[in-house]
Structures are given as structure tokens and as C-alpha cells.
Amino acid sequence: MHHLLWKNKESTLVADCRVFSVYRNLALSPNKSDVRDFYVLKLSNWANVIPITPDGDVVFVKQYRHGTSQVTLEIPGGIVDLEDLDTKETARRELFEETGYKSEELIFLGRHNPNPALQDNLCDTYLALNAKQIASPSFDKEGYEQIELFLVPIASVSQLIANGDIAHGVVITAFYYLGLYENKISGTLSP
């Protein structure tokens, strides 16, 4: 697919926005006849986790999101710190901080790019089996995160997505991966 590849010649920082940075790239077209500019976002990688309790409930978090100015229903997740490049440890940490739940059975479900047109980052999704609450949520020290827990039987999640109650693309993608995993362990997905 080399004939589709652009070659980036130059990147200029346009704005440093704390959780993301905006760059203007000058890129050479595949036929090498043309240089054009494209705005892209650099972000840290993300990790998220579908925590399932011994009773078969998924532990969701409700939180306000400043992008859409709405309260969303999401699974726990967050940014992979630079010093902490392991997405599994990030998933474990975010699960505990946002919900107070712990699991000894974290299983990798899938890796995706939330928005490859504009963003360079990836998101790794994990499944946390037998998740049990052993503490209160701790949130971030600066108080940016105000979160409520919301438990949903695993069988009801698809209905919440169908209703639009769960509308976060990264979360819906996580449940697609969970479906693949369920198919695999029941042997219907070819190896």
C-alpha cells in the first residue's frame, strides 16, 4: 500500500492544550507532485476496561464530558502516563481510582485507534473478571473527575447501546471486542 502513503516533511506545533497538542503537518503526496498541510492531534495512548462483578454486572461510570457538554455512561478508563507505558497497568489503576474495584483477572480484548484521521493515539481495552469493590472511588486529586457508579447486568448493555444511553464510540468499540472474546471462548471465532 506504499502508493497510498504520504510522507511528512515538517510538523509545527499550533497549540499545546494539556491533554492534546495540535500540529500542522506539511506532507508530500504519494505521487510526489504536491505538498499539502494537514492539522493533526497528538495525544497520549488510552486504556479502558470492562469490569464485570461476580454477579454478572458491568460497572459503568457516569461523568460530565466537556466535549459534548453532557453526562455520559462509560466504562472506566484513562490516559497512559508517559512514565507508565503499560496499558494493562493503566487499566488496572483507572479501574481502582474511578470505581474502587479490583480484579485479579485482567484480559486484553483489543487495540484500536479512536480517530486515525486526526489523532495519533491508540486505545487498549481490557476485560476485568470477578471485579470486587474494595474501596471508595478516589478520583483525581484536583477534583476534575466527579463520577457516579452505575451497575448494569451484562445482558442489558446491548439495549443501552441500542437506546443511545451509551453513545461513546470508544465504549461501544470495547463491547464489540467483548463480543469477539465471547465468540472466541465459545469457539465460534476461527483461530
Q: Please state, in angstroms and rounded to a whole number, the distance separating the CA atoms of residues 117 and 134.
A: 40
Closer residue to a second copy (CB): 138 or 158:
158
Strands 21-28 and 147-153: unpaired
Closer residue to a second copy (CB): 30 or 100:
30
Closer residue to a second copy (CB): 12 or 130:
12
**Closest distance between a second copy and the C-beta of residue 120, in Å?**
6
Across the beta sheet with 70-74, the strand order is: 70-74, 57-65, 147-153
Structural contact between residues 146 and 140, judged by C-beta atoms closer than 8 angstroms = no
The three-state (H, E, C) secondary structure of 178-190, written as one string: HHHHHHHHCCCCC
Structural contact between residues 127 and 181, judged by C-beta atoms closer than 8 angstroms = yes
Closer residue to a second copy (CB): 22 or 102:
22
**Closest distance between a second copy and the C-beta of residue 106, in Å?**
19
DSSP letters for 131-145: -EE-S-----TTS--
**Closest distance between a second copy and the C-beta of residue 132, in Å?**
25
